[in-house]
Amino acid sequence: MRITILGSAAGGGFPQWNCNCRNCAGLRAGTLRAKARTQSSIFIQPDAGGDGLLLNASPDILQQIKATPALQPGRAIRDTAIAAVLLMDGQIDHATGLFMLRERGSPLPLWCTDPVAEDLSTGNPIFRVLQHYCGVDRHRIEPDGSVFEIPGLAPLTFRAIALSSKAAPYSPHRDAPVPGDNIGLIVTDPRSGRTLFYAPGLGEIDPRVAEAMHAADAVMVDGTFWTNDEMQRLGLSRKTAHDIGHLAQSGPGGMVEWLGKLPASTRRLLIHINNTNPILDADSPERAALDRAGIAVCEDGMTLDL
Ligand code: MLT
Ligand code: MN
Ligand code: ZN
């Protein structure tokens, strides 16, 4: 399978429109060695050159499609390589790009859990709005680890597990999490036997998540914040990373420590990186620490073949 990183930033992107933190200001001024990034989304094709699955529909989807020729193969007057969309959660940065796909000639094949479908029909009724355009052909994901297939994506197989993270602020159950608000996805290519574990929003590594990470050939996981109090320290929020459902990278029990427990052959990648995160600066000591630990920081346009 071919995995293409369409967007590697967290909500807000990098630089964020209203932000003048060290990273955002430094990128604009050209004084920081860093790359701009659009909001979190990846594309998975069974074979490079064929149709694929869009994982999350970022508000930046139109820019991402323009930047990625593989998404527009041009086989017909109206065409796309996006065979289906799968949502990891119902957050703004992962779902509002659905509006931009409204010109389709047929209902959009869309895979998500029941809590996400509910949020996107009530708190943020994107599905209801889209019924006035292409419509949504929604398929249920059970976040219980059972295997499912997606038409057009053969021979890839998929399994979803419920994660401890957070539903969107507009969710009727934002403060009372239910299984399926956020999922981690295990994608397997049976031809190579190789597996990706993808979890851009991951608040806690419970035994099921640890098991999925250990079994994967590549893990692409939550890279939102370096420290739990990153936004508080900068005076940008009263909330910690943990409060909004993200496990920080540094410190005891942090993501770097968890990734260090994986087999030596596992590819380790961070995605959904917040614009405040010092790892965006290629010259930072935090980035050097990741380099030493063999952890890559995803960039827009990067590809990975498994
Ligand atoms: C998150 O991942 O916590 C959210 O996407 C943040 C946001 O978009 O405001
Ligand atoms: Mn997000
Ligand atoms: Zn910033």
> Domain limits of the chain?
2-305
Q: How far is CA 153 from the centre of its chain?
A: 19
Instruction: Report how far residue 306's alpha carbon sits from residue 291's, in angstroms, rounded to the nearest whole number.
Output: 21
Instruction: Report how far residue 241's alpha carbon sits from residue 203's, in angstroms, rounded to the nearest whole number.
Output: 8
Instruction: Report how far residue 198's alpha carbon sits from residue 208's, in angstroms, rounded to the nearest whole number.
Output: 14
Q: Is 195 in the pocket of ligand 1 (CB under 6 A)?
A: no
Residues less than 5 Å from ion ligand 3, measured at CB: 16, 19, 21, 24, 275
- Asked whether 270 and 221 are in contact (CB, 8 A), the reply is yes
- Nearest atom in ligand 1 to the alpha carbon of residue 224 is 2
Q: pLDDT per residue over 205-233, tens digit each?
A: 999 999 999 999 999 999 999 999 999 99
Determine which residue's CA is closest to atom 1 belonging to ligand 1: 11
pLDDT value of residue 158: 98
Contacts of residue 95, Cβ cutoff 8 Å, sequence gap at least 6: 56, 57, 87, 89, 116, 120, 124, 126
274 C-alpha to center of ligand 3: Å?
8
Contacts of residue 158, Cβ cutoff 8 Å, sequence gap at least 6: 86, 147, 148, 149, 150, 185, 186, 187, 188
277 C-alpha to center of ligand 3: Å?
8
Ligand in nearest proximity to the CA of 168: 1
Instruction: Report how far residue 202's alpha carbon sits from residue 281's, in angstroms, rounded to the nearest whole number.
Output: 23
pLDDT value of residue 105: 96
Below-50 pLDDT ranges, the chain = none
pLDDT value of residue 278: 98
DSSP, collapsed to helix, strand or coil, labels residue 289 as helix
Ligand in nearest proximity to the CA of 17: 3
Q: Is 57 in the pocket of ligand 1 (CB under 6 A)?
A: no
Determine which residue's CA is closest to atom 6 belonging to ligand 1: 11
Q: How far is CA 286 from the centre of its chain?
A: 22
pLDDT value of residue 293: 98
pLDDT value of residue 249: 98
Determine which residue's CA is closest to atom 5 belonging to ligand 1: 11
Q: Return the best residue to mutate from 37, 91, 92, 228 for the ligand 1 pocket (most ligand atoms within 8 A of CB).
A: 91
Q: Which CATH class is domain 2-305?
A: alpha beta
- Residue in the structure block whose two tokens are 């614009």: 275
pLDDT value of residue 166: 85
Q: pLDDT per residue over 142-197, tens digit each?
A: 999 999 999 999 999 999 999 988 899 999 999 899 999 999 999 999 999 999 99
H runs (alpha helix) in the chain: 22-29, 61-67, 92-95, 114-119, 126-130, 207-215, 230-233, 255-259, 285-292
Q: Indicate the pTM of the whole model.
A: 0.98
Q: Is 11 in the pocket of ligand 1 (CB under 6 A)?
A: yes
